[in-house]
């Protein structure tokens, strides 16, 4: 993004999955994982989407990054992984 550029977009709720940024709706498939704890999944999803988006990714790429981050977040207990 450049200074003064407006960030507009939408990541839709689970009952209508997809994302758009002034264009066609993009969708990304879920990632099969063994769920341990859902704490932090939404935060991980949002953070990855925003990070990718601000790094210049298009919507499909940002959405895929978000889906993968959310999936990874549910594979361990608690809101953040252990460092060791």
Structural domain includes residue 47: yes
Residue 18, in any domain of the structure: no
* Domain-embedded: residue 16: no
Instruction: Provide the pLDDT for residue 49.
Output: 87
| pLDDT at residue number 36 | 92
The predicted structure's pLDDT at residue 13 = 54
Q: What are the Cα distances from residue 27, in Å, to 4, 9, 16, 73, 78?
A: 28, 14, 10, 20, 28
Host domain of residue 66 = 34-84
Per-residue pLDDT of the chain (84 residues; tens, 9 = 90+): 455 544 455 555 555 556 656 666 677 788 889 999 989 888 898 899 889 988 988 888 888 898 899 999 999 888 766 654
Total tally of structural domains belonging to the chain? 1
Residue 19 placed within a domain: no
Q: Would you state the pLDDT for residue 69?
A: 92
Phi, psi of 34 (to 5 degrees): -90, 115
pTM: 0.72
């Amino acid at each position: 993004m450049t200074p003064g550029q407006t960030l507009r977009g939408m990541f839709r709720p689970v009952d209508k999955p997809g994302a758009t940024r002034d264009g066609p709706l993009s969708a990304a498939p879920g990632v099969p994982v063994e769920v341990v704890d859902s704490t932090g999944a939404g935060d991980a999803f949002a953070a990855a989407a925003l990070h990718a988006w601000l790094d210049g990714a298009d919507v499909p790429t940002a959405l895929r990054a978000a889906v993968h981050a959310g999936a990874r977040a549910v594979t361990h207990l608690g809101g953040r992984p252990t460092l060791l």
